Amino acid sequence: MEAFKKSLPALLTTLYKAAIEKRTKTTDFMGADTWRSFNDFLPQSLLKNGLNKLFILTDGYLDFESNRFVGKNGNRTTDSRMINRLRNLTNWQQVLNSPEEGIIPVKSSFGNLQVCVAEIHPKNMALQEQSIIIALWKKWLNEMKIRQSTFIVRGNILENKVQLASF
């Protein structure tokens, strides 16, 4: 683990450079279906009798290229398009705290999973955008009974390194 912690900053730099090489438009990037990954793939990837740590590198949005497979149940969905609605509300925290709002929780058991959501970076410059993204993730992970979650906003690499080390 120590070797991983020491090599992560250099690996992230290499990853970022490879990801943006010859790509200049948002349509050049394919999003990941995070909800589906949690639902379909993560449960069988976890150690049954051990601690699992999941690092998610993301801008914080749960949107992906094709919205054909988005689940919806009232105001709950499997993506984060609800941010568009929440960002325009002065009482967005109260609205998001409602049981009818948020991302649909995955029904699998994640009792031995810790999640670090790193590199959160709002696409929209709305004043509360970053807070909305983090609150949405926190609610979703809490509803799935994930016992520890850490959120790291894109910023100073040295500060981010300290946060990663403490996770």
Whole-model pTM? 0.79
CB 130 within 8 A of CB 69: no
Lookup result for tokens 């004043």: 127
Cβ within 8 Å of residue 21, ≥6 positions away? none
For 128-141, write each residue's pLDDT tens digit: 999 999 999 999 99
- The secondary element (H helix, E strand) that includes residue 69 is none
Between 158 and 59, residue with greater pLDDT: 59
